[in-house]
């Protein structure tokens, strides 16, 4: 077996973060979780924020556990759209807002008063979500212009951590593509749009592609973590879904890629963006993928509904055995479908009551028990997958033949089987840590340990990780 090299993936999710050590050779990929920590919104007097200092401390703690591992490089990925403001001296101003903060709706109104939705889609090709960066910057400019005036750069979350690690103020392309400010054809900032919206251009850092060496760890990081002073910082597909898509072990065309977690992101890879009115009306997005690919996909509110329901039940003193709850849901018949993308599901809160309210409004059977609510969530997600696939096929004129699900949600056997049954397609689930694996292999390719295009990387991943297959059941079979 060929000699392996060590790489570190810092993978920051909306509900948890992790530092993962990968050892990669030309024919093998191994990883282990070094440090895991919780993440989530914190409420302040004026809205929701990320606890960014705690995140930073946890990342440094995780990296310090790698000091004896001879790490070649570090790559950071995270959720999309949010950003931190740095002043000229490098200090963080205010702190990054959480994308579920209610103020974003005021930003939407501001942008809509300046540009028609159809024109905006033609300029950036981005699915409408009320928390896209463009709306967050618009409300900042409208209500806190002094913050922007005193800022040197607005760095998205992975770029902010890269800055803390090596001092580079740059923006990686795949995450920049989620901002609503990037031209999907040129793959650079849409300066004419930014000027039209009256947003400060000086805040936007230069855009770089994944696989770019941007510096080595600072002296401060070297001393704090014990990492070698020549440990490199390399950009990866810094939007976590871009990294997850790298690790989809698909070796056949016409596959639906699904990154399943707090959000479900369903889509295909294209060479060019689709900027048609049909795509806009169906609310599909053109986001940057690794190697210049376009991730043409739709965001679906995924296991967020389950996560928030569990949080609510725990707050009420109902501590459940979650696997048992899912087993109970498995025994129940499908009875009610709700729209998982209903705007009422966006903010944190009492999700079970919201599900009951929406079911009642629609004249449907209303779930009462915890298992019944879980079953409604899963049936509704599976039904949404069917709807998205139909839209995707109509827009792209491609027939979806199989589904690949990666990420934490790929472990949910009941949901996977329901998706197979409703879509009448085979579902292939895994790997679970797809985002970290995608992060690691792009670092390994940048270091020359791996070679080849995405298809060759995926073939290697398919050989190294187990994938579970779910076959559609005949009607009436449980």
Q: What residues act catalytically?
A: 240
Residue of 177, 200, 199 lying closest to 189 (CA atoms):
177
Tokens representing residue 409 in the block: 């949600």
**Smallest Cα–Cα separation from 175: which of 257, 75, 77?**
77
Distances 290 to 152, 177, 266 between C-alpha atoms, Å: 28, 12, 16
CA distances from 436 to 18, 212, 339 (A): 9, 17, 30
Alpha helices by DSSP H, 144-239: 145-149, 157-166, 173-176, 191-196, 219-225
Return phi, psi of residue 161, to 5°.
-70, -35
Query: How many CB atoms are closer than 10 A to CB 44?
Result: 11
Instruction: Calculate the alpha carbon distances from 120 to 179, 182, 208, 333 in Å.
Output: 12, 11, 23, 43
8 A C-beta contact, residue 183 and residue 190: yes
Element containing residue 395 per DSSP (H, E): helix 370-396
Backbone angles phi, psi at 452, to 5 degrees: 115, 175
């Amino acid at each position: 077996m060929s000699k392996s090299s060590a790489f570190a993936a810092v993978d920051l999710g909306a509900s948890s973060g992790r530092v993962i050590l990968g050892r990669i050779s030309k024919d093998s990929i191994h990883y282990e979780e070094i440090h895991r920590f919780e993440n989530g919104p914190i409420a302040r007097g004026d809205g929701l924020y990320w606890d960014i200092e705690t995140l930073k401390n946890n990342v440094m703690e995780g990296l310090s556990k790698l000091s004896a591992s001879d790490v070649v490089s570090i790559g950071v990925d995270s959720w999309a759209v949010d950003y931190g403001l740095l002043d000229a001296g490098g200090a963080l101003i205010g702190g990054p807002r959480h994308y579920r903060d209610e103020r974003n709706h005021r930003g939407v109104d501001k942008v809509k008063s300046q540009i028609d939705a159809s024109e905006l889609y033609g300029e950036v090709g981005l699915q409408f979500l009320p928390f896209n960066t463009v709306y967050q910057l618009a409300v900042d400019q409208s209500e806190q212009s002094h913050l922007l005036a005193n800022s040197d750069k607005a760095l998205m979350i992975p770029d902010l951590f890269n800055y803390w690690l090596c001092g580079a103020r740059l923006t990686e392309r795949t995450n920049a593509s989620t901002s609503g400010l990037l031209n999907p054809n040129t793959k650079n900032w849409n300066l004419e749009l930014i000027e039209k919206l009256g947003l400060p251009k000086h805040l936007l850092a230069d855009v770089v592609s994944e696989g770019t060496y941007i510096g080595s760890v600072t002296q401060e990081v070297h001393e704090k973590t014990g990492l070698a002073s020549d440990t490199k910082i390399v950009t990866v597909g810094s939007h976590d879904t871009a990294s997850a898509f790298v690790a989809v072990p698909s070796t056949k065309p016409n596959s639906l890629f699904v990154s399943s977690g707090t959000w479900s992101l369903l889509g295909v890879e294209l060479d060019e963006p689709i900027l048609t009115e049909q795509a806009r009306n169906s609310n599909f997005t053109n986001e940057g993928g690794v190697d210049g690919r376009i991730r043409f996909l739709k965001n679906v509110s995924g296991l967020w509904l389950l996560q928030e329901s569990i949080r609510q039940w725990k707050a009420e003193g109902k501590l459940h055995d979650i696997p048992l709850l899912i087993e109970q849901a498995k025994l129940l018949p499908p009875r009610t479908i709700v729209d998982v993308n209903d705007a009422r599901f966006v903010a944190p809160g009492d999700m079970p009551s919201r599900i009951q309210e929406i079911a009642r409004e629609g004249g449907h059977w209303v779930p009462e028990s915890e298992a019944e609510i879980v079953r409604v969530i899963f049936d509704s997600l599976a039904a949404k997958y069917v709807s998205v696939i139909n839209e995707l096929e109509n827009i792209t004129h491609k027939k979806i033949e199989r589904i690949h699900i990666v990420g934490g949600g790929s472990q949910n056997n009941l949901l996977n089987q329901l998706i197979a049954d409703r879509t009448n397609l085979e579902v292939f689930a895994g790997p679970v840590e797809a985002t970290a694996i995608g992060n690691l292999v792009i670092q390994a390719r940048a270091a020359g340990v791996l070679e080849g295009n995405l298809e060759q990387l995926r073939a290697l991943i398919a050989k190294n990780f187990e994938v579970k297959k779910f076959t559609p059941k005949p009607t009436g079979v449980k």
